[in-house]
Chain A
Amino acid sequence: MLKIEKRAVDSRWMQLGSPLIATVLTLITGAVLFAALGHDPFNALYTFFVLPVSDLYGVTELGLKVTPLLLCAMGLMLCYQAKVWNIGAEGQFVIGALGGGIAALYLPSLGAASLWVTLLFGILAGMAWSALAALLKTRFAANEILTTIMLNYIALNLMLYAVHGPLKDPSGFNFPESAMLPANTMLSTLIDGYRLHVGFLIALLAMVSVWVVSARSMIGFQIKVLGEDERAAAFAGFSTNKLVWYVLLISGGLAGLAGIAEVAGPVGQLNPYVAAGYGYSAIIVVFLGRMNPVGILIASALLALTYMGGEMAQMQLGLPKSLTGLFQGMLLFFLLACDLFISYRVTWSQMKRVEV
């Protein structure tokens, strides 16, 4: 008889093996799906996962998509280590884009410094948005999952209002988008002719900084203790409220930075589609990456690939772009299923019937 029983000690092997198994299962299921849709599964998988990065353009585009995912995910990693379930990176991203965009469009030019002011406003706007959730949680004990999700919708509607109303470009043929940002507020590209910009380096820097905070600093330790065991944190004298503020402000700031980097980077203006679900995908990235910075970097690349693969499959195979969401969902689904075997194992036991 098959039996699931708790392991005496968590399996280290499964900790690392689980995302790999989940990825393989996703690919297999994907192949079956493609076959069912009447496509050669290998060609389809190749089109989805390899073709998009088969040239330099593809690789730089991957880096471009990794940038917002990595920024959002590193902030979320700190939150989730503290078991503060911030689902609001999407909203913080949008508000960051909006706040930074407004600064870029309306503040008087400061020359080269304008870029920094723009980025700073993006960060502060994202922080302000997550501060609302922090305030509601620490002051009124409101569940952050609910408040951050609700704040996402408010953020999106604020953006819609802005680009349909006060920020709409007068010479934009009535499209819901703002004017283009001034050139001195734009992030410069890394390679001429490609869209990959300095934001990618900033994201890597942010990754390393958050890594140091998480792995080496006392506050990182306190965050982990709070997440593992709230009573132990109280016993040791770590302030729960302070830590909640800390992780939410950092993740809001990073998501806001991701938002403004998108606007001051490839998009160049405010429109309702800037977020493109990066804030939600970053949640998958954090879990897929085992809440570990290197893992998160790899997972960001994988998720970025699903975005590009979806587009490629649409262009080459005529399949719907929603394949992206499907693959992301399958990844998360299989990952959660495989994670069961970190603490549990399946055994084949012969139940000896007790003599009657």
Chain B
Amino acid sequence: MYQIQLDSITKAYPGCVANNAVSLSVREGEIHALLGENGAGKSTLMKIIYGVVAPDAGTMIWRGQPVTVKGPNHARALGIGMVFQHFSLFETLTVLENIALSLPKSFSKDKDALKQKILDVSAKYGMLLDPDRYVHSLSIGEQQRVEIVRCLLQDVKLLILDEPTSVLTPQEVKVLFNTLQTLASEGCSILFISHKLDEVKSICTAATVLRGGVVTGAFDPRVTTVDEMAVAMVGADTPLDQHYPRATGQEVFLSLANLSCTTYDPFGVSLSNLNCQVKAGEIVGIAGVAGNGQEELLSLISGETLADDASMVCFDGHPVAKSGPGERRSLGLGFVPEERLGRGAVPDMSLADNALLTASAKGLVTNGLVDNKAVKVFAKKVVDSFNVKTASILSQAKSLSGGNLQKFIIGREILQAPKLLVCSHPTWGVDIGAAIQIRHSLIALRDQGCAVLIVSEDIDELYALCDRIGAICDGKLSPIRNTDEVSLTQLGKWMAGEMTPSNEVVETAHA
């Protein structure tokens, strides 16, 4: 029996058709993958099912009955639960309070009974939770459990998970998958949104692929190869293979020495005694689940936050931890932040102005006046050499797709010939074609002798690109070791905070 059937769902936004006649059926007890790149229309489709967005056309049949979902409350009443990529939890409330808030009054009246129910459900599905803990003290994985338990309490028949594994360590992923399999065996259907094909192959029993708002394939992942699914996802003309030779660095360019920084932000992470070196001609990767101090570390390197002791951060031997971003750029820093719009680029300004944003010291300003001609030449060079698709260099940054803007930002930094390039999530939310191009350019930059530091949650990417790798957890940094010597299990342990001291000996041997 089908749990849900979508027939010819169409939804258009100004300037793009997010879903074009999408049809999709999920059986009872099925773990169904919805695959697609960023911007393929997965999220829109999920929002339609959950009643957040109304479709322009198409029908939805829920357990044999046609329905129009009027909103999330209606969806929940029908038995549809959704866990968004960005959790909707109040960090200052406890688990119990958060769950009570989302349930109908009849559930939440009796706090003790509810608490018992939470304990029962979480134990049954192997997702241990303490109802009295405050959400801000939970790890991301635990917060996700709260969201899932919240859905399960309401007798859910279809559970939608939007990229649930992107925020988890490999070990946590295993736990989640066990839970999902238990749920499915009880008849609950699961719609699993992802772009990681290995995961899909390992737990899903059906898959639908979206590309550009259109269904481009429906597979049984158990018998279909990863390559077949990938082609449906990105199109036949995109090269998929990528193997890069490893490199060994030369002299140290960036060194962090006992870098500590206490944050006064209640939701920030304090860093304690970070040590790390990045050498010219190598790529160092730092893995970690979001919110473990990456933000703080990166802004200490970029100069947006200053440390107490200048020697905590050194560029080529110069202590810079108390210098601002401008001074650090003049010493050879290039920086690609995680937020493209609203930090890496000004949304409403043209690409030309955005080129000037960080490149002003490269001969674009004379006597305090901007040399508009030089700015345009530089912007044009970035657009041409990094294959940025844009109407003109006078287009607003916000009019570019995520991938194109990222190529522009990376290009802007690379063309300033940095001696150290720091990238946060270089290919996050970028389509595969652009991602491959970005990776190529990072490798090329490394081969020219630039020191490159990548901070990312995408472990596959880090393994593909980095010559040495480590992980950050709760403001502490693991040892950084040659990538080929670090097993996925080891990296997962580091990401979870198990940083055995014996590894540090190995690190000193390398350095």
CB pair B14 A5 closer than 8 Å: yes
Q: How far is the CA of A173 from the CA of B222 in the complex (A)?
A: 101
Whether B66 lies near A355 (C-beta < 8 A) is yes
Q: Decide yes or no whether B199 CB sits under 8 A from chain A.
A: no
A232 close to B346 (CB less than 8 A): yes
Q: Which of B68, B324, B344 contacts A354 (CB 8 A)?
A: B68
Stretch at the interface among A223-231, A300-308, A327-335: A223-231
Contact of A239 with B348 in the complex, beta carbons under 8 Å: no
When distances are taken between beta carbons in the complex, the residues of chain B under 8 Å from A352 are 56-57
- CB pair A9 B59 closer than 8 Å: no
Closest to B326 in A: A237
Alpha-carbon separation in the docked complex, A354 to B19 (Å): 15
CB proximity to B under 8 Å, residues A106-154: none
Bound CA–CA A10/B399 (angstroms) = 10
Whether a CB of chain A sits under 8 angstroms from the CB of B101 is: no
Whether A355 and B370, one on each chain, are in contact in the complex, defined by CB atoms closer than 8 angstroms, is no
Chain B residues lying within 8 Å of A229, measured Cβ to Cβ, are: 342-343, 346-347
Name the residue among A10, A220, A235, A239 with the largest chain B CB count within 10 angstroms.
A235
Q: Any chain B CB within 8 A of the CB of A2?
A: no
CA distance A217 to B367 in the complex (A): 9
Write out, one digit per residue, whether chain A residues 59-100 have a CB within 8 A of any chain B CB (1) or not (0).
000000000000000000000000000000000000000000
CA distance A220 to B360 in the complex (A): 13
Please, which residues of chain B bring their CB within 8 A of the CB of A6? 14
Contact status B57-A10, CB under 8 Å: no
Contact A225 B357, beta carbon cutoff 8 Å: yes
From the candidates B343, B369, B399, name the one contacting A232 in the complex (CB within 8 A). B343
- Using known A-B contacts A9-B399, A225-B346, A229-B346, determine if residue A354 contacts B54 with beta carbons closer than 8 Å: yes
Per the 8 Å Cβ criterion, residues 387-417 of B in contact with A are: 396, 399
Contact B368 A228 (CB under 8 A): no
Q: Interface 1/0s, chain B 143-170, versus A by CB < 8 A? A: 0000000000000000000000000000
Beta-carbon contact of A219 and B368 below 8 Å: yes
Chain A, range 4-28, C-beta contacts under 8 Å to B: 5-10
Q: Specify the chain A residue showing the minimal Cβ separation from B329.
A: A237
User: Is the Cβ of A235 less than 8 Å from the Cβ of B335?
Assistant: yes
A236 & B369 in contact (Cβ 8 Å cutoff): no
The interface residues of chain B lying within 8 Å CB-to-CB of A232 are 342-346, 357
Complex contact A234–B68 (CB within 8 A): no
Please give the distance in Å from A342's CB to the nearest CB on chain B. 11
A1 CB-CB contact with B under 8 Å: no
| B337 sits at the interface (CB 8 A) | yes
Contact bitstring B266-306, A, C-beta under 8 A = 1, else 0:
00000000000000000000000000000000000011100
B363, chain A: closest CB distance, angstroms: 12
What are the residues of chain A within 8 A of B60 when measuring CB–CB?
A: 354
Q: Which chain A positions have C-beta within 8 A of B372?
A: 216
| Cα distance, A20 to B68, chains bound together (Å) | 45
Question: Are A235 and B343 neighbours in the complex by a CB distance under 8 Å?
Answer: yes
Check B365 for interface membership: any CB of A closer than 8 A.
yes
* Assembled-state Cα–Cα distance A220/B66 (Å): 59
B325 beta carbon closer than 8 Å to chain A? yes
Chain A: minimal CB distance from B395 (Å) = 8
Kindly identify which residue among A5, A217, A228, A237 contacts B348, using a CB–CB cutoff of 8 Å: A228
* Interface residue B245 (Cβ < 8 Å from any Cβ of A): no
The answer to whether the Cβ of A218 comes within 8 Å of any Cβ in the partner chain is yes
In Å, the complex CA distance between A232 and B356 comes to 12
Question: Which residue of chain B lies nearest to A220 when distances are taken between CB atoms in the complex?
Answer: B370
- Chain B residues with Cβ under 8 A from A280's Cβ? none
Check if B399 sits within 8 Å of A236, measured CB to CB. Answer: no
User: In the assembled complex, how far is the CB of residue B286 from the closest CB belonging to chain A, in whole angstroms?
Assistant: 19
* B310 contacts A by Cβ under 8 Å: no
Which B residues lie within 8 Å of A236 (CB)? 325-326, 357-358, 360
Which chain A residue shows the least CB distance to B66? A356
- Are A356 and B57 in contact (CB-based, < 8 A)? no
Say if the beta carbon of A221 comes within 8 Å of chain B: yes
Q: A8-B14, A231-B342 are in contact. Are A218 and B57 (CB under 8 A)?
A: no
Interface residues on A, range: 20 to 34
With A8-B15, A235-B337, A236-B325 in contact, do A217 and B368 touch (Cβ < 8 Å)? Answer: yes
**A239: nearest chain-B partner, CB-CB:** B324
CA distance A224 to B353 in the complex (A): 10
Residue of A nearest to B333 (CB): A237
In Å, the complex CA distance between A223 and B372 comes to 17
- Which residues of chain A are near B353, meaning CB under 8 Å? 221, 224-225
B59-A354 in contact (CB<8A): yes
B357, A356: Cβ atoms under 8 Å?
A: no
CB neighbours (8 Å) of B349 from chain A are 224-225, 228
Question: Is A237 in contact with B324, judged by CB distance below 8 angstroms?
Answer: yes
Instruction: Determine the chain B residues whose CB is within 8 A of the CB of A221 once the complex forms.
Output: 353, 356, 360, 370
B67 within 8 A of A: yes
Contact of B325 among A217, A218, A219, A235 (CB under 8 A): A235
Q: Which residues of B contact A356 (CB under 8 A)?
A: 66-68
A218 touches B14 (CB 8 A): no
Q: Give the chain A neighbours of B370 by CB distance below 8 A.
A: 216-218, 220-221
Report the nearest B residue to A216, measured CB to CB: B369
Chain A residues with CB under 8 A of B357: 225, 232, 235-236
Q: Is B58 an interface residue (CB 8 A)?
A: yes
B327 to chain A minimum Cβ distance, whole angstroms, is 8
Q: Is B55 an interface residue (CB 8 A)?
A: yes
Chain A residues closer than 8 Å to B335, beta-carbon distance: 235
B484 within 8 Å of A (CB atoms): no
Q: Distance in Å from the Cβ of B6 to the closest Cβ of chain A? A: 11
- A218/B368 in contact, CB under 8 A: yes
Q: B309 within 8 Å of A by Cβ? A: no
**How many angstroms between the C-alpha atoms of A10 and B482 in the bound complex?**
49
Tell me if B57 and A354 are in contact (CB < 8 A): yes
CB-CB under 8 A from B343, the residues of chain A are 229, 231-232, 235
Min CB distance B386 to A, Å, is 20
Are B14's CB and A7's CB within 8 A?
Answer: yes
Does B339 count as interface, using CB distance less than 8 angstroms? yes
- In the assembled complex, the CB of A188 is this many whole angstroms from the nearest CB of chain B, namely 34
Complex interface: chain A residues within 8 A of B339 (CB): 231
Given contacts A231-B339, A232-B343, contact A354 B55 (CB under 8 A): yes
Q: Min CB distance, B400 to chain A, in Å?
A: 11
How long is the Cα–Cα vector from A242 to B68 in the complex, in angstroms? 56
Query: B3: shortest Cβ distance to chain A, in Å?
Result: 19
Q: What is the chain A residue whose CB lies nearest that of B65?
A: A356
Q: Can you identify 19 A-B contacts, CB atoms within 8 angstroms?
A: A5-B14, A8-B15, A9-B399, A216-B369, A218-B370, A221-B353, A221-B360, A224-B349, A225-B357, A229-B343, A229-B347, A235-B302, A235-B325, A237-B329, A352-B57, A354-B55, A354-B60, A356-B66, A356-B68
5 nearest interchain CB pairs?
A: A237-B325, A237-B326, A8-B15, A229-B346, A231-B343
Q: B-contacting residues of A (Cβ < 8 Å)? A: 5-10, 212, 216-221, 224-225, 228-229, 231-232, 234-237, 239, 352, 354-356
Task: Taking A7-B14, A225-B353, A232-B345 as given, write out 10 further A-B residue pairs in contact, using a Cβ cutoff of 8 Å, ordered by the A residue number.
Answer: A212-B369, A221-B353, A221-B356, A221-B360, A221-B370, A224-B353, A232-B344, A236-B360, A237-B324, A352-B57
